[in-house]
Amino acid sequence: GDKDHSCRILDILVGLFEQSIRKAFPGDTTLPVLVVPARQADYQCNSAMPIAQKLSATTGKKIAPTEVAKIIVENLPKHDMIEKIDYSGPGFINVTISPSFVSKQIRDILTKGVLPPNILTMVGKLGSNGENKRPKVVIDFSSPNIAKEMHVGHLRSTIIGDSIARLLEYTGFDVLRLNHLGDWGTQFGMLIAHLQDEFPEYKTVSPPIGDLLAFYKASKKRFDEDEEFKKRAYECVVNLQAYDPDIIHAWKMICDVSRKDFEYIYKELDVKITDRGESFYQDRMVDLVKELDSKNLLKLEDGRKLMFLPDIDVPMTIVKTDGGFTYDSSDMATIKQRLQEEKADWIVYVIDSGQALHMQSIFAGAKLAGWTEENSARIDHVGFGVVLGEDGKKLKTRSGEAVRLRELLDEGIERSLAKLKEKNRDTVLTPEELQKAQKSVAYGCIKYSDLSRNRNFDYIFSFDRMLDDRGNTAVYLLYAYTRIQSIARKAGIAPETLKAKMQDVELDFANEEQELKLAKCIIRYPDVFTRALDELLMNGLCEFMYQLATAFTEFYDRCYCVEVDKVTGESRINYRRILLCEATATVLKQCFEILGIQPLERM
Ligand code: ARG
């Protein structure tokens, strides 16, 4: 046991079963599979069947899985967490955790909090930037394009990326959150040329562009129809890349308009991110081409410079015929910069799965260039599916246009207020509380409905579904959390008293089924946390929150935390139960924080 980290039961059990299997079946390399079954036991090992099959095949003698299961259990090292072991089905081994072990874990959570796992095991090596520093993660997410609308795909990247960043920060990594804005490239030529015509005074006053998308469309129209304009647009691109001060100024003006829109969305969603767009890499792309040329990795074909990759059919275009750079060149520059300048131990790109091939190419390119050999960082493409409307087609407005993010958030805000009023919350809460609840519910629902599904799949965006207060939704969880808070409030226990009770109240949950069930659910959290960290998937964490809230509701329906004596009328606080509420709240709160959802005291 590592004292600085919360106990991971599943991890320990896997270790015990592995020891047993190695001893009982030398030569067998099966890694034990342990799950949390819906019924029958706390944990279940399902390895007897595959081992029996293998043994039968190699020895030619039929051996039953139930036989193998017995042998595994006979060889299992003793551990004080195990209360009893029994069998079910074709050799399933069921483990029941001992109540005294459960009590100890709950006491630890109450007195020490939930402590994250050892971060050094996460990247497989010590930080390359010096042994005493925390390992560094660079996470690239959100990353909308200037002058184009930030769309629902960017919303997914924002929500998923922010929660992963929170998870990593919570674990103790040094996290650099980067917004890889599309703020460079040929489209800026026409935007700048159009700006010069429309707002000639742009050098002294900032241009009153209200609708940058309309501005973009107008400039695109001219670009397509007017040869003269097109020529000027090209000149602007050349001058932009040469850092002509006037052109750079115009470019900044345009970027600022977009940035204000983006900032509004980040502020509303409580997302912190540092802008570092494609423009940052202009000089680095020039150097990149030199390096790749000197390493003989570029092939000249039809005036373009291509980079061919092992096992990937399509080469990357590093330089276009007109000498310009591409999305490939900019991302080759990002990965090089993050490995060599940031000295990252872990690099994460949160980009839709449609760009999987692009990402594979970049990773292969970095390897070919020899950069990953110098710095063996862990590199992940965190992909995600498309956002669909309730009709199962790509999310669109009624008139068929792409949904504007700001309007989507506004609709969420409106709908959440309606929902709260429907539940008569406006009669109970102060105006400030109501407003806080409105935001928390609206954005909590949007985030949770995204994060609670496996991000690798497409997902259907439905306000009706996400605002339902039954089932696995943020509203249900937020209500559960406020209910816990109100129990403590109503009991009127002073914080110091509660603190003292955490140390010395007897925590024996074994006499009440609902208490034990809830306690056993709570102590699964460190395993759930670690799994989310390994896979960079949040749906398991969400599923756990739902199970926790459900176990809490069942407990709360049956077990009184404050009992009123029928004869004397005196109320008596059951501290054991109050502390169980407290541990539930601690874990639930941490989950909310990782997902970027604001839990409420009252709602
Ligand atoms: N701007 C791109 C888009 O809208 C996303 C950029 C993601 N980050 C990256 N390093 N490629 O599709």
CB-ligand 1 contact for 143 (6 Å cutoff): yes
Q: Tens digit of pLDDT for each residue in 422-440?
A: 999 999 999 999 999 999 9
- Look at residue 487 and tell me whether its pLDDT is greater than 80: yes
d(CA 224, CA 218): 10
Contact 60, 86 (CB under 8 A): no
Residue 182 has a CB neighbour count (10 Å cut-off) of 19
Read off the pLDDT of residues 302-331 as tens digits, 9 standing for 90 and up.
999 999 999 999 999 999 998 999 999 999
- pLDDT bin (cut points 50, 70, 90) of residue 121 is low
pLDDT value for 27: 86
Answer whether residue 126 shows pLDDT above 50. Answer: no
Give backbone dihedrals phi and psi of 309, rounded to 5 degrees, phi first: -125, 145
Q: Give the residue from 380, 352, 310 showing the smallest Cα distance to 155.
A: 352
In the prediction, which pLDDT does 149 show?
76
Q: Which of 188, 292, 308, 275 is nearest to 240 (CA)?
A: 188
Q: Do the Cβ atoms of 465 and 389 come closer than 8 Å?
A: no
Q: What are phi and psi of 314, to 5 degrees?
A: -90, 125
Tell how far the Cα of 511 is from the centroid of ligand 1, in angstroms: 55
Give the pLDDT mean for 164-180: 96
361 lines ligand 1 (CB under 6 A): no
Assign residue 458 a region: left if phi > 0, alpha if psi is -120 to 50, beta otherwise?
A: beta
The average pLDDT across 555-572 equals 91
Strands 174-179 and 274-275: parallel
Atom of ligand 1 nearest to the CA of 148: 4
Whether residue 398 is predicted with pLDDT greater than 80 in this model: the reply is no
User: What distance in angstroms lies between residue 252's CA and the mean position of ligand 1's atoms?
Assistant: 20
Domains 9-97 and 405-595 are alike in CATH topology:
no
Partners of 82 in the β-ladder: 97
How many angstroms is it from 347 CA to the middle of ligand 1?
Answer: 15
Average pLDDT over residues 450-468: 94
Q: Which residues contact 95 (CB under 8 A, 6 or more apart)?
A: 13, 41, 42, 43, 44, 45, 82, 85
Q: Please give the structure tokens belonging to residue 187.
A: 């489209």
| Pocket of ligand 1 contains residue 180 by CB under 6 Å | yes
Q: Is 182 in the pocket of ligand 1 (CB under 6 A)?
A: yes
Task: Report in angstroms the alpha-carbon separations of 62 from 27, 46, 55, 327.
Answer: 19, 19, 8, 58
Please give the distance of CA 130 from its chain centroid, rounded to a whole number: 27
CB 378 within 8 A of CB 120: no
Q: Considering only CA atoms, which residue is closest to atom 5 of ligand 1?
A: 143
As a whole number, the mean pLDDT across the chain is 93
Nearest CA to ligand 1 atom 8: 180
The answer to which of 96-100, 386-390, 521-525 has the lowest mean pLDDT is 386-390
Q: How far is the CA of 330 from the centre of ligand 1 (A)?
A: 10
The percentage of the chain sitting over the pLDDT mark of 90, rounded to a whole number, equals 82
Cα of 120 to ligand 1 centre, how many Å? Answer: 29
Which tokens sit at 131? 């042994």
Q: Which atom of ligand 1 is nearest to the CA of 351?
A: 7
Q: Which amino acid is present at 406?
A: R
Ligand 1 within 6 A of 149 CB? Answer: no
Rg (CA), the chain: 29
Give the distance (Å) from ligand 1 centre to CA of residue 140.
8
Q: Quick one: which atom of ligand 1 is closest to the CA of 327? A: 11
CA distance 522 to 275: 38
Of 549, 547, 434, 572, nearest to 493 by C-alpha is: 572
Domain ranges of the chain: 9-97, 187-258, 405-595
Residue nearest to atom 11 of ligand 1 (CA): 331
Alpha carbons 85 and 89: distance in angstroms, whole number: 14
The answer to whether residue 131 scores a pLDDT higher than 60 is: no
Q: Is the CB of 140 within 6 Å of ligand 1? A: yes
**Are 378 and 363 a contacting pair, CB within 8 Å?**
no
* ipTM value for the complex: 0.99
Residue 174 has pLDDT above 70, yes or no: yes
- Counting atoms of ligand 1 from 1, which one is nearest the CA of 355? 12
Strand 299-301 relative to strand 34-35, pairing = unpaired
Quick one: DSSP state of residue 217?
H
Say how many Å lie between the CA of residue 128 and the centre of ligand 1: 27
pTM for the model stands at 0.94
Of the pLDDT bands very low, low, confident and very high (cuts 50, 70, 90), residue 212 is confident
Bridge partners for 454 per DSSP = none
Please give the distance, rounded to the nearest whole angstrom, from the Cα atom of residue 600 to the centre of ligand 1.
34
- The pLDDT value recorded for residue 122 is 63
Q: Which residues contact 225 (CB under 8 A, 6 or more apart)?
A: none
For residue range 148-157, list pLDDT tens digits in order.
Answer: 878 888 999 9
**405-595: what fold?**
Isoleucyl-tRNA Synthetase; Domain 1 (1.10.730)
Alpha carbon 373 to chain centroid distance? Answer: 28
Rounded to the nearest angstrom, the distance between the alpha carbon of 182 and the centre of ligand 1 is: 7
Question: Which of 155, 331, 355, 379 has most ligand 1 atoms within 8 Å of CB, for mutation?
Answer: 355
Q: Which residues contact 479 (CB under 8 A, 6 or more apart)?
A: 469, 603
Nearest residue by C-alpha to atom 4 in ligand 1: 144
Work out which ligand 1 atom sits closest to the CA atom of 182: 1
Residues 480, 549: contact at Cβ < 8 Å? yes
pLDDT of residue 396: 80
- In angstroms, the Cα distances linking 464 to 349, 411, 416, 487 are 31, 12, 10, 30
Could you tell me whether strands 299-301 and 304-309 are parallel, antiparallel, or unpaired per DSSP bridges? Answer: antiparallel
Q: Are the C-beta atoms of residues 106 and 583 closer than 8 Å to each other?
A: yes
Q: How far is the CA of 179 from the centre of ligand 1 (A)?
A: 9
Distance 124 CA to ligand 1 centre (A): 28
Helix (H) or strand (E) holding 297: none
- Name the residue of 180, 183, 255, 276 whose CB sits within 8 Å of the most ligand 1 atoms, as the mutation to test its pocket: 180
The pLDDT value recorded for residue 423 is 93
- With residues binned 3-state (H G I as helix, E B as strand, rest as coil), the percentages for the chain, rounded to 5, are 55, 10, 35
Alpha-carbon gap, residue 415 to 3, rounded angstroms: 46
Residue 56, pLDDT > 60, answer: yes
Does residue 123 register a pLDDT over 80? no
130 burial (CB, 10 Å; 0-12 / 13-18 / 19+) is: exposed
Using CA atoms, how far apart are residues 415 and 463, in angstroms rounded to an integer?
8
Q: Which residue has the higher pLDDT, 548 or 400?
A: 548
Q: Is 145 in the pocket of ligand 1 (CB under 6 A)?
A: yes
Count of beta carbons in the 10 Å neighbourhood of residue 566: 6
Distance 581 CA to ligand 1 centre (A): 43
Q: Is the pLDDT of residue 494 over 70?
A: yes
Locate tokens 């802008």: which residue? 275
Among left, alpha and beta (phi > 0; psi -120 to 50; other), residue 454 is beta
Q: Which CATH superfamily is domain 9-97 in?
A: Arginyl tRNA synthetase N-terminal domain (3.30.1360.70)
Q: Is 351 in the pocket of ligand 1 (CB under 6 A)?
A: yes
Task: Provide the H-helix boundaries in 149-244.
Answer: 152-171, 187-198, 212-225, 227-241
